Amino acid sequence: MRCLAGCTFARLFPLVLAATVAAVPVTAQGSQSPAPTVAPPAIAVTAVGESRVTPDRAMLHVAVESQGETAAAAAATNAAKQTKVIDAVKAAGVAAAQIRTAGYNVFPEYAQGSGRAPRVTGYRANNTVQVEVRTLADLGKIIDAVLGAGATNIGGVGLFASNTDAARREAVQQAVGKARAEAEAAAAAAGGSLGALLELTTNPFEPPRPLTRQMGDMVAMAAAGAASTPIETGESIIQAVVLVRWQFVPSQR
């Protein structure tokens, strides 16, 4: 019995040992992490394109300021004057929908006495309306009309273009062309060429800021009864910014 058991174990031991050794590489191989994936090289370029448009609209801020001994008196005087100004704007061809109140306030005026507390000497009222002018040829005439009707201040004239879609697309095309030219130069300098387009992003559109003409001398000329107020429109600049990425293809040598 002893010999039989010993002989049986002796015959089985090599098989057990072989199975154990063979399993080691499998276990070790399964524990290895996969090799990291390396992203293919790419070239990214940011470029700016510009186009120009001629303004065809204007925005006026017309104010009337008045004084009175009481707040009610100042407000009443101001209301009468601003009504005349608005009527003059409408008579010049501006629709009521293009006129809106932009600011209104009534506040006290003080006198500062030596060694005494300030005292109220009267009240001042200010009413500002915003006027959209859709025909620039009428802008000088409208300015003359509001000043003649009693406007005391024109804060400025904002000139802008009503439709900038075509100019925006032109700016985008120009920006993409610049980006590709720079990317091709960079790829050549790095010893390769551009491959497939990977990404193209344009920035959100921001309309150009209105060109603001401070009235100053123009107001003085109109108030003095000089020739019609001159207006120069100039041009507005529209910009587009793009980010473009291409795959970089190394030269095969």
For residue 40, give the 3-state DSSP assignment. Answer: coil
The percent of residues above 90 in pLDDT, for the chain, comes to: 62
pLDDT exceeds 70 at position 86: yes
Segments of the chain assigned to CATH 3.30.110.170: 39-56+163-253
Predicted local distance difference test score (pLDDT) of residue 149: 96
Cα–Cα distances (Å) from 33 to 28, 30, 37, 38, 135, in that order, read 11, 8, 12, 15, 72
Predicted local distance difference test score (pLDDT) of residue 209: 56
Q: How far apart are CA 71 and CA 171, in angstroms?
A: 53
Predicted local distance difference test score (pLDDT) of residue 31: 56
| Number of CB atoms found within 10 A of residue 115's CB | 4
Predicted local distance difference test score (pLDDT) of residue 146: 95
pLDDT tens string 160-192:
898 999 999 999 999 999 999 999 999 999 999
At 172, which helix (H) or strand (E)?
Answer: helix 165-189
Predicted local distance difference test score (pLDDT) of residue 37: 73
Predicted local distance difference test score (pLDDT) of residue 115: 72
Segments of the chain assigned to CATH 3.30.70.2970: 57-160
Grade residue 88 by pLDDT with cuts at 50, 70 and 90: very high
pLDDT tens string 103-144:
999 999 998 877 778 889 999 999 999 999 999 999 999 999
Best CATH choice for the domain 57-160 from the list 1.10.630.10, 3.40.50.970, 3.40.50.300, 3.30.70.2970: 3.30.70.2970
Among candidate residues 168, 152, 149, 177, the one with its CA nearest the CA of residue 208: 168
pLDDT tens string 188-228:
999 999 999 999 999 876 665 555 544 444 444 444 454 56
Q: Are 147 and 220 in contact (CB under 8 A)?
A: no
Domain spanning 39-56+163-253 has what CATH number? 3.30.110.170
Best-predicted range by mean pLDDT (13-17, 23-27, 131-135): 131-135
Mean pLDDT, residues 27-37: 60
For residue 133, give the 3-state DSSP assignment. Answer: strand
